[in-house]
Amino acid sequence: MNELLRKRARYLLADTLNEPVLFFDKKNLLADFNKEAAEKFGLCNKNINNMTREYFETSVLQLTYEEKPNPNINREVELQKDYASISYHFTVQPIQSSLKGFLGRVYSFQDISKQKMMYNALEKMSVYDQLTGFYTSRVYSSKLAELNKNPEEYIVAICNIAGLKLINAFYDMDTCNSIIQKMSEELRNVLPEDALICYAAEAYTVIVAKGITEHQMNLYLSTAARKLKKRALDSVPVFLNFGIAKRENTTVDIEEYIKYAEMDLLVKKGKEGIAQKREMTVALTEEYFRCEYESLAHVERLKAMAEGFAKYLELNKKDTEKLQLLCTYHDIGRVKTREEVWNRATVITSDEHDVVKFHSITGYKIVSRMQLPYDISDLILHHHENYDGTGYPYGVSGEEIPFLARVLAVIDSYDVMINDQLYKGAVSEELALEELRKNAGTQFDPALVNIFETFLKERK
């Protein structure tokens, strides 16, 4: 190779380039390369005029050799370097001289590893649900259509987590997502590897499997349910419900048997759902008081006072029991508010007070999904409304406020005043009554304040 040609190649292959570039002469022998090519492909000076273009493509790049590659087409190659994979686009460009004609070919490489990773990630997102790793509904539908073409028996199952909305109301979405991920792990551990699984709308998981019996599917899902119940949450049981159907008529689409599996699920939920929700309610109640968001002593005092005041008001059994429940759960919405706001020995800021106001709405959401003897969600929603309409969350007034919520407002405020709090000390019963009188007609129902004062005097 003459010096003029070498200088021309060197000019083209300037070592300042950050991507590999190689030059093969018209005899298809390696003529020159830059330092990036030396590093990426393990080249050295002894390779000059010893390595052919064919050898480079077939042995180094592991590609099929093209004698006359199209310079307008980008080719792609993936190389392993230090246990990492590097993807390149490369072009093969012929070099022509007006005097000497064809001189050789330049191989120019561009690292596309990051773009490839992004593409693969996007492709994966379109195929797999990011939370569970199961197929998305779109891909699942496509695969189901393929299965429908096969005249084979399949076992179809559909399952979901009981009380997920209650868990979200009590905890948060991150906790729910963690439970869903644990469910997907348990299902993967027990189901056949070739099972078709999709995490569908409304938090349902749909499974289609072949080569197993209904009994085996029931055993698999029962095992997953048992393990999930133990590990999903520390103190609260989590239930995985499921229904199963067998595709016996192979001429009928699998979608029909998914409906049968869903019917089986609904029947089982009807039988077991109330007991499951009751067990979750008990556990969440214990969790609520374990977190000390509400003093159990305060609740017990309220319930004792409410029992006596209910008799004095001549409330029926149903309203008396609802008032007892209200004493227990009225502030359960505090679980979604930062603990330090409630347990602080100083006055909270105005911004924090706005956060505190939201707890009655949160309490409403939680209790409306619990399995309690009576629905007290509306009472919890309005237990901080003021008689003159200045309360929260909606500013309703007078008799628009449920009667039992107005009763609780009086006895709750009285108990708070006559007992020590973190942010203030207790006052005498007389001073507490004076405060109730002062706020009768504004914060409290004036008629109830008068009756409550009489009740306290007669109780002594």
Neighbours of 321 (CB within 10 A): 16
The pLDDT of residue 99: 84
The pLDDT of residue 350: 57
Q: Is residue 411 part of a domain?
A: yes
For 76, the enclosing helix (H) or strand (E) is strand 75-81
Q: Is residue 382 part of a domain?
A: yes
Q: Is residue 114 part of a domain?
A: yes
Instruction: Give the separation between CA 273 and CA 275, rounded to whole angstroms.
Output: 6
User: For residue 4, with 0-12 CB atoms within 10 Å meaning exposed, 13-18 middle and 19 or more buried, which class applies?
Assistant: exposed
Percent of the chain surpassing pLDDT 70: 89
Percent of the chain surpassing pLDDT 90: 62
CA-nearest of 67, 69, 95 to 6 is 95
Q: Which residue has the higher pLDDT, 71 or 453?
A: 453
Q: Does residue 27 sit in the same domain as residue 107?
A: yes
The pLDDT of residue 208: 96
Instruction: Give the separation between CA 287 and CA 411, rounded to whole angstroms.
Output: 25
The CATH number given to whatever domain includes residue 256 is 3.30.70.270
Q: Does residue 219 sit in the same domain as residue 259?
A: yes
The pLDDT of residue 345: 44
Judged against a pLDDT cut of 80, whether residue 315 lies above it is answered with: yes
Coil vs helix vs strand at 224 = helix
Q: Which residue has the higher pLDDT, 353 or 42?
A: 42
Mean pLDDT lowest for which of 194-203, 309-318, 336-345, 352-361? Answer: 336-345
The pLDDT of residue 430: 94
Instruction: Give the separation between CA 177 and CA 184, rounded to whole angstroms.
Output: 11
Q: Tell me how far CA of residue 168 lies from CA of 3, 162, 172, 241, 404, in angstroms.
A: 76, 12, 5, 18, 27
pLDDT band at 65 (very low <50, low <70, confident <90, very high): very high
Judged against a pLDDT cut of 90, whether residue 404 lies above it is answered with: yes
> What's the total number of domains in the chain?
3
Instruction: Give the separation between CA 206 and CA 218, rounded to whole angstroms.
Output: 14
Residue 216 lies in domain: 128-288
Q: Does residue 109 sit in the same domain as residue 211?
A: no
Judged against a pLDDT cut of 90, whether residue 441 lies above it is answered with: yes
Q: Does residue 161 sit in the same domain as residue 245?
A: yes
Q: In what order do the strands lie in the sheet with 155-161?
A: 196-199, 205-209, 155-161, 240-246
Instruction: Give the separation between CA 137 and CA 128, rounded to whole angstroms.
Output: 9
Contact 281, 372 (CB under 8 A): yes
Q: Does residue 94 sit in the same domain as residue 134?
A: no
The CATH number given to whatever domain includes residue 94 is 3.30.450.20
pLDDT band at 123 (very low <50, low <70, confident <90, very high): low
Q: Does residue 93 sit in the same domain as residue 173?
A: no
pLDDT band at 339 (very low <50, low <70, confident <90, very high): low
Mean pLDDT confidence for 220-237: 94
Mean pLDDT confidence for 39-48: 84
The pLDDT of residue 297: 87
Q: Does residue 108 sit in the same domain as residue 171?
A: no
Judged against a pLDDT cut of 50, whether residue 340 lies above it is answered with: no
Domain boundary residue, one of 267, 288, 309: 288
Helices 317-329, 296-313: inter-axial angle, 10-degree rounding: 160
Mean pLDDT confidence for 409-432: 87
Mean pLDDT confidence for 231-259: 94
Q: Is residue 374 part of a domain?
A: yes
Q: Does residue 85 sit in the same domain as residue 149?
A: no
pLDDT band at 159 (very low <50, low <70, confident <90, very high): very high
What's the whole-number average pLDDT of the chain?
Answer: 88
Q: Does residue 114 sit in the same domain as residue 189?
A: no
Q: Is residue 297 part of a domain?
A: yes
The pLDDT of residue 292: 61
Instruction: Give the separation between CA 49 and CA 201, rounded to whole angstroms.
Output: 63
Mean pLDDT confidence for 310-335: 95
pLDDT band at 388 (very low <50, low <70, confident <90, very high): very high
Q: Does residue 191 sit in the same domain as residue 310?
A: no
The pLDDT of residue 338: 52
pLDDT band at 336 (very low <50, low <70, confident <90, very high): confident
The CATH number given to whatever domain includes residue 441 is 1.10.3210.10
pLDDT band at 202 (very low <50, low <70, confident <90, very high): confident
Domain boundary residue, one of 118, 145, 168: 118
Mean pLDDT confidence for 158-171: 93
Q: Does residue 331 sit in the same domain as residue 268?
A: no
Q: Is residue 123 part of a domain?
A: no
Instruction: Give the separation between CA 47 and CA 23, rounded to whole angstroms.
Output: 12
Tokens of 316: 């029926």
Mean pLDDT lowest for which of 43-57, 176-190, 369-383, 390-404? Answer: 43-57
Neighbours of 149 (CB within 10 A): 7
Tokens of 240: 């995985």
Domain boundary residue, one of 288, 306, 335: 288
Q: Does residue 308 sit in the same domain as residue 253?
A: no
Q: Tell me how far CA of residue 195 lies from CA of 208, 406, 443, in angstroms.
A: 6, 57, 61
The pLDDT of residue 29: 93
pLDDT band at 4 (very low <50, low <70, confident <90, very high): low
Helical H runs in 291-383?
296-313, 317-329, 339-342, 350-357, 359-367, 377-381
Helices 403-418, 429-438: inter-axial angle, 10-degree rounding: 140
